[in-house]
Structure 1
């Protein structure tokens, strides 16, 4: 029977003193440093503890666990193969295994609505006959047909990240929260431990220089910028800002997730959260700000508004007060989402940036494919570690 691993240490705030471990003969403090404790970084850390159980690991997060400012918290949390090509189905099912282990998912049908007959589709009234509340959201004379994935799952990506990180810590990985980290050439990482003054200003309390055999940059939509700023490496990846308006229409624990023209309606807390389509990367330097559009509350992205207006015939509920657009930017939750290779339809990916640094990105398909991508990278890194 293998020995029970010693749990890793957690540094949650600057009141917990941190002293870097004694450098090894090659000058490194850790085998792996993972920057970013969102869904992808936490899953990778767990996968590394399993693929390389003797490795010395450190996971660093700028905020709390899971990252409350990244896309992990606001991702739809829907596992489905409905919109994936067949060659990606094995990766999706491998991801499902980890989701079932870590996120306590629930079975929730995923229904894609169409304006015409599609392969395997049923009349919408038949497909949603058991869900009159869902049927009431749409016009079946416009969305005449529907295809259903009865094997879909719904889960909370934040729960997945939290449980993955906690499981990794129990297996020996270390975690440092409230720390801003930046990669540098040669596997060097500067870690700035942050604290808050009595006027709520975030300041650097102490800075440490750490070195690892390999650094994984898993900071989501910020990762391409970090690669360029700190490593001088330009990538093809991009980011977009996606807002998630609220639809105050009744849903039940068995209501299906609805998908129409890129818009996903996710049943949550007895109502719906809307996840609009992501069409393209944001312009360089784009920052979402509130503004005034004629007859439109401030703070909503024009692209999101145009999408919702374009769907009002198909989903009449969008033209009623049930749609909450808010009156300021802060009323509409939003997050930066990574676009691997600059495209919203590209699956999660990883790629080496230099001999000591790898970039790991989730993106719009992280719900279904992210765990497998993290696991595949972990096996690759563990093999490389064993050979060196």
Structure 2
């Protein structure tokens, strides 16, 4: 019987195991150094804030693995040996495989800051991070968060929910300005400040200072300022968790290099999820996609291949969603921080400063290219269809109310948005 070994117990690895089991009786072993049972990383913040319990973050019952005949092994993998088709664990246990899947995810970036390994310094990625925050929070007056992305703002919201003062260091001149165009980025800056978060733009961490017990006592910024704090959250992005593969002969870039079938250069070894890197990005996607739903899709595609139906990974149109404190964000298609040469952006922001829409379209053909929405929920199916059918921006503007989750609530905004578009682009063309 074929033995499929999966390193990693996150969304990619578990989806893969589940879909293989639907189609095959192969022996499946999942090896994980983290939590015994799969849980939703994105729910960690809600556990800390008291909205959920940790067991609620587990999509499957604990007997799911046994019931589906999936063998779970806890342990840290230290090496992969393709020549003998086995993996080595830290306690010298060897596990042979017929097919091996690397689904090891990401690890938070650390940039060699002095003091980055002190007690009180954490990311927000593992269950262990949540446990550390629970331990330190009761005695914390102020936390400093380093890095202005999605995880940073989640951590800020969590700590503010416990009435801990938060200073937020953002390297750029506006929040998430590498991804968001200026209007939306400025809106989120204002929203962060309204939540009594001390936002410091264009500010970098230089050093983390220790007390006499090896715990954080303060940080120093590149502005020469010392800020007292008991927790430092490092949320300056993530990198593929691949250090243990350096001597394996498996081809690495930043992550594990794979083709469209998610195969590595080593026979019978595959990679999926955050640790996988396409030789060239698909469409305009990045070669590494550290996104929950793409990890799931890779797991589904590879399960087909490993059960006899070779299937390329085809993620379709780009979409994503997040929450900036109280403002929900969705994006479909491509809306770049700065419009490309062939693109025009239309931006509408509600006078209340909490709702906005930005639409990107081709200035020559008027083809709709993408949309950002803030505080307004849109239907995925609608935008998936218009992107596939290459509809015009005019078609989208005519049908914007249909695209909204709550058309009745949206009616008043819809007229205002259409009027502004008509005024900006000399009339709304017929479909």
- TM exceeds 0.5? no
Q: Which has the larger radius of gyration?
A: 2
Determine which structure has greater relative contact order: mean sequence separation of CA pairs < 8 Å that are 6+ residues apart, divided by chain length: 1
